[in-house]
Structure 1
Amino acid sequence: MKDNKANILLVEDEENLHETLRLNLEMEGYDVTSAFDGSEALRKVGNEYFDLIIMDIMLPELDGISVTESIRVNHNEVPILMLSAKNAGADKVLGLKKGADDYLTKPFNLEELLLRVGKLIDKNKKIQEKEGIGDAYDFGNNKIDFKAQDAITWSGQRVELSKKEAMLLKLLIENKGDVVTREKILQVVWGYNVYPTTRTIDNFILNFRKYFEEDSRNPRYFHSVRGVGYKYTD
């Protein structure tokens, strides 16, 4: 069993196969969320962070290729393992072009699927892991002490930070220059089961500008990227 359970979205409309895959993934130590059509899959992707999506191509309402394309258009880089009864090379190429990371043709060997799942999740975790910044960080004339949960602002004011503020600051700074998606913030700062609204995260960013920006209306450090996420630049 894995110490830190990866969260997998299983998108498969054939009930017997779905239950077989779900059971085997759970036996491997994964948390599994189910979706049985493309629209349901997109709703769940919009509300929760996943470490991997297993996506059937032939789905009711919205096919797996279209769901994958929509996920990538929204700048979500979650690994996607595509399943298909189609054996044509063109279908495989299309799936990979639209953003799938791997592809298995039905019927497939269950052990091979589990190996591919493990490799995709491990690869994604290595990409996500950034070099830590330690307990303290300085930028401009601002100083943050993450351990003490306080900061000295550019104007010399001492500010107490909430635990969530300190966690979000650290996440943004560790990903300096990169957009951190709302889904990633949900995973790291709020956890899987509590989802704040975008307005809540926006209010945190507004607080950071008030604390750390000399001109909060023209921020240098903390940026919102509409429809995608948030970014720290130095």
Structure 2
Amino acid sequence: MQTQPADPKATILVVDDEADVRDVLEEYLASHGYAAIGAENAGAAREQAARRAFDLALVDIHMPGEDGLSLARHLRERYPKVAIIMLTSAATVIDRVVGLEVGADDYLPKPFDPRELVARVKSVLRRTAAEHRAEIGAERVRIGRCVLDMPAHRLIDERGQEVAMSPLEFDLLQALARHPNRPLSRQRILSLGRAREWDPFDRSVDLRVMRLRKKIEPDPEHPRFIRTVRNEGYVFVPEGQPS
């Protein structure tokens, strides 16, 4: 196990069933200032991802059991801000196409020069960081798969398309976005929006939260960005939180 830098440039998950490959990559990445954590298969990678935050995952496509494509799809759905670079010993077009289709940010065939890998890592991290900075501002807030443009009263998905949203849904989402990481009671949410149009005695807030989750959550059945806080209400978690 390599000693991790006290203040790493980024944390990288290395997923490869070959122990010698993992060791070499972890050592090389650590020597360039990154924190590298190894996982021998997709199951171990899922466990690691659920326990800690990663900036980027290096995922070998061809592994016994669950393959890297399935793992990449899981990571993209559950951890949308994590960058993904696919690794494979078979430099086939179909692997590359499928890898990019499931949400990978880049692709590198084996064998490769570790210097090229580090260059790809730097490029992908720089690009994804710039994308997040561009999308998140005082009045434009990333919420799950979407960006809420508050001045324009618009919700934009990852393809740049506007997502249909009622005025009451906008009020609810705006109230949560303006109070990140702070649980808001249903009554507080009502007071921050068009209160006279809400009926506090029915389940209006709960119904609209359920509808909004279907629009913004990667997995609406396991919400990470609009969380339920028992006996308190709802809270917007900007960074997401594993269920």
Q: TM above 0.5, one fold? A: yes
Residue 127 of structure 1: aligned partner: 131
For 2:103 and 2:144, how far apart are their aligned partners in 1? 19
For 1:91 and 1:132, how far apart are their aligned partners in 2? 36
SS at match of 2:225: strand
Structure 1 residue runs of 5 or longer lacking an equivalent are 134-172, 182-203
For 2:209 and 2:17, how far apart are their aligned partners in 1? 40
Displacement of 1:119:
0.9
After TM superposition, the score normalised by the length of structure 1 is 0.61
For 1:174 and 1:48, how far apart are their aligned partners in 2? 27
- Assess, with a 3 A threshold, how the Cα gap between structure 1 residues 223 and 29 changes in structure 2: closer, same or farther: farther
Find out whether 1:179 has 2:144 as its counterpart.
yes
Residue 80 of structure 2: aligned partner: 76
- Assess, with a 3 A threshold, how the Cα gap between structure 1 residues 179 and 218 changes in structure 2: closer, same or farther: farther
Q: Is the 8 A contact 1:2 1:29 kept in 2?
A: no
Residue 228 of structure 1: aligned partner: 223
Q: Is the 8 A contact 2:10 2:35 kept in 1?
A: yes
Residue 139 of structure 1: aligned partner: none
Residue 93 of structure 1: aligned partner: 97
Displacement of 1:71:
2.3
| CA RMSD, Structure 1 to Structure 2 (Å) | 3.1
**Deviations 1:192-230, CA, capped at 9 Å, x for gaps:** xxxxxxxxxxxx66435454433675449x957342322
**Deviations 1:142-177, CA, capped at 9 Å, x for gaps:** xxxxxxxxxxxxxxxxxxxxxxxxxxxxxxx7626x
Residue 34 of structure 1: aligned partner: 38
Displacement of 1:86:
0.5
SS at match of 1:213: helix
Residue 213 of structure 1: aligned partner: 190
Residue 107 of structure 2: aligned partner: 103
Find out whether 1:60 has 2:25 as its counterpart.
no
Displacement of 1:38:
0.9
Q: Is the 8 A contact 1:180 1:229 kept in 2?
A: no
For 2:77 and 2:145, how far apart are their aligned partners in 1? 15
**Deviations 1:106-140, CA, capped at 9 Å, x for gaps:** 1101111000001111111112225553xxxxxxx
After TM superposition, the score normalised by the length of structure 2 is 0.59
Displacement of 1:39:
1.0
Which segments of structure 1 move beyond 6 Å, counting only runs of 4 or more?
Answer: none
Identity across the alignment (%): 28
Bigger CA drift: 103-112 or 68-77?
Answer: 68-77
- Assess, with a 3 A threshold, how the Cα gap between structure 1 residues 20 and 175 changes in structure 2: closer, same or farther: same
Q: Is the 8 A contact 1:39 1:61 kept in 2?
A: no
Q: Is the 8 A contact 2:55 2:81 kept in 1?
A: no
For 1:75 and 1:31, how far apart are their aligned partners in 2? 18
Instruction: Indicate which of 1, 10, 20 corresponds to 1:6.
Output: 10
**Structure 2 counterpart of 1:207, one-letter code:** L
**Deviations 1:58-79, CA, capped at 9 Å, x for gaps:** 2232110111122234363421
For 1:175 and 1:20, how far apart are their aligned partners in 2? 39
Map of 1:98-177 to 2, 5 A cutoff?
98-129=102-133, 130-133=135-138, 175=141
- Assess, with a 3 A threshold, how the Cα gap between structure 1 residues 78 and 210 changes in structure 2: closer, same or farther: same
For 2:34 and 2:186, how far apart are their aligned partners in 1? 38
